[in-house]
A and B are shown apart, each in its own frame.
Chain A
Amino acid sequence: MSLLDASGGGICHKEEVHASSSLPKHLDSDSPLLSVRSVAKRYGARIGCKDISFDLWPGEVLGVVGESGSGKSTLLGCLSGQLRPDGGEVLFDTRDRGPVDTLRMSEPQRRHLARTDWAFVHQNPRDGLRMGVSAGGNVGERLMATGARHYGRIREAASDWLDRVEIDTGRIDDRPRQFSGGMQQRLQIARNLVSGPRLAFMDEPTGGLDVSVQARLLDLLRGLVRDMGLSAVLVTHDLAVVRLLADRLIVMKDGRVVETGLTDQVLDDPQHGYTQLLVSSVLQV
């Protein structure tokens, strides 16, 4: 549409070209970044999740909501290679080989993917950070794992990322345990995003934080998703968080998807009885 060109008109500074050129890539993309087909996982006789299928497009944030026990964390584990599903396919559009079923990848290949193109943000930063290693070391580790060797450059990248997640770069040599919960969470995000991943899995990334800290983190995540063209699968039980962060929603109950759609459509005009109950149960402030 010509209007898109018009809106970017008059921009000629070099550093801005990158931001402007990221848009067509999102809009013109004809292939999903992640295609999930009939993923299922049982724990003995109990269903973890079943019949899960969806596509995730580049630059899109997909929220997965439901009560605890609805299977959303199981699903996230299956997608990110932390759990082994009993069946189904998880096709990821790799940079060099196109769509590959990550469930049938060799372990070294999957580990490489997890260190480069994927990010995983845990609810508890302690699960995603190395608590005995400095903040700079936490961020730099992922770069070293992908072959970076130049100490000065690694430290520079780490410092740059601490700045992006609003951590004072003067604290680059401090251990994460000296940080507040909100800072630890931002450090975990920096550690994950330093390699420029295309897909982030997030498990309740704002859970356990004070509301004021939550707001700052939400704003940070929104900016990163927009600027990096990052796609994300975001698991949370917090409908206010998905309203602000997710483009699209999947509602899960008893391990199954009961409803999907545009985020504000699912929240404002829920079709399934369970979603209606979920939406009407939120406390108004």
Chain B
Amino acid sequence: MIEVQNVSKEFTLHNQGGAVLRVMEGASLTVAKGECVALTGASGAGKSTLMRMIWGNYRTDHGMIRVGDAQISGAEPRRIIALRRSTLGYVSQFLRVVPRVPTVRVVAEPLLALGVAEEEAEARAAALLTRLNIGENLWGLSPTTFSGGEQQRVNIARGFIHPYPALLLDEPTASLDAANRETVMRLIEEAKMRGAAILGIFHDEAARERLCDRQVDVAGFVPGRAA
């Protein structure tokens, strides 16, 4: 479902004398339907970079990335937008929302973009927020005022509100208490059961052991120091 083939990445810093940072070389991996694969490696080794290249906000200059039938590398923006709408979900560590929009709308938004009616979308958002222990008294407020753990759960709700066939998870269980951590792990297990292909970064070792079928160490994709 997710396929990464011989991908390399470099950044050219034009305002710092054109310095070229080579950050990745020869990255390859696949994630099958119903499989959860963990990206491991020291921080700075390129886990997030690889996730962003699959999401499409980092450009893939060399190599090929595919999600389902759609090629990410070199794709027209509107193809990536369509893919994100229906097929590829992403739970990042940051919540980026229009300020002052109520939490229940923030979570319902991916469904609204898919054409689901407002009433149904908000009902599904409310159910998921309840499951994630975000009290009803908070639904009408903007999540920008929430604590880190609450924002994280709003982010997770946004990523799980639609049954995406492919999911990218960046530290989904970080900054959660035991009960919420358990809920999130159940959500991930349910996604696997329905056949989602999941690629994630889990610093939480116990979560990784329980959820992941395989690990891919990105240390193998660090370029030689020749440059």
A residues neighboring B (CB under 8 Å): 1, 3-4, 6-8, 10-11, 13, 15-16, 19-23, 27, 57, 60, 211-212, 215-216, 218-219, 222, 226, 243-244, 247-248, 261-262, 264-265, 267-269, 271-273, 276-277, 280
Contact = CB atoms under 8 A, between A and B. Distances in A.
Interface stretch (B81-89, B152-160, B214-222): B81-89
Nearest to A217: B98
A19 B15 contact: no
8 contacts: A7-B86, A7-B111, A11-B117, A244-B96, A244-B98, A267-B57, A268-B57, A280-B15
Contacts of B115: 4, 7-8, 19-23
B14 interface: yes
Interface of B: 11-15, 52, 56-59, 77-78, 80-82, 86-87, 96-101, 111-120, 162-163, 165
Given A3-B165, A262-B77, A276-B14, A8 B114 contact: yes
B191 to A, nearest CB: 13
Nearest to B100: A215
Contact of A262 (B13, B80, B99, B101): B80
Given A4-B114, A265-B56, A268-B57, A243 B81 contact: no
Summarize B's interface: helix, strand, loop or mixed. loop
A226 B14 contact: no
Which of A15, A27, A243, A264 gathers the greatest number of chain B CB atoms within 10 Å? A264
Summarize A's interface: helix, strand, loop or mixed. helix
Contacts of B56: 262, 264-265
A262 B84 CA distance: 12
Which of A10, A21, A60, A265 gathers the greatest number of chain B CB atoms within 10 Å? A265
Contacts of A10: 120
B15 A264 contact: no
Contacts of A261: 59, 77
Nearest to A7: B114
Given A11-B116, A262-B80, A219 B14 contact: no
B87 A3 contact: yes
Given A4-B86, A264-B57, A222 B163 contact: no
Given A19-B116, A20-B117, 10 more contacts: A3-B163, A11-B116, A60-B81, A243-B96, A244-B97, A244-B98, A247-B78, A262-B77, A265-B59, A271-B12
A11 B36 CA distance: 32
Given A212-B100, A268-B52, A272-B14, A262 B57 contact: yes
A8 B86 CA distance: 12
B57 A269 contact: yes
A13 B101 CA distance: 26
A262 B81 contact: yes
A167 B118 CA distance: 21
Contacts of B57: 262, 264-265, 267-269
Contacts of A4: 86, 114-115
B211 to A, nearest CB: 22
Contacts of A276: 13-15
B78 A269 contact: no
Which of B96, B115, B116, B120 gathers the greatest number of chain A CB atoms within 10 Å? B115
A73 to B, nearest CB: 23
A269 B112 CA distance: 28
Contacts of A7: 86, 111, 114-116, 162-163
Given A10-B120, A262-B77, A269 B58 contact: yes
A226 B112 contact: yes
Contacts of B96: 243-244
Nearest to B120: A11
A277 B15 CA distance: 7
A206 to B, nearest CB: 11
B86 A3 contact: yes
B15 A273 contact: yes
A265 B58 contact: yes
B68 to A, nearest CB: 8
A162 B100 CA distance: 20
Given A4-B86, A19-B117, A277-B15, A268 B98 contact: no
A1 B86 contact: yes
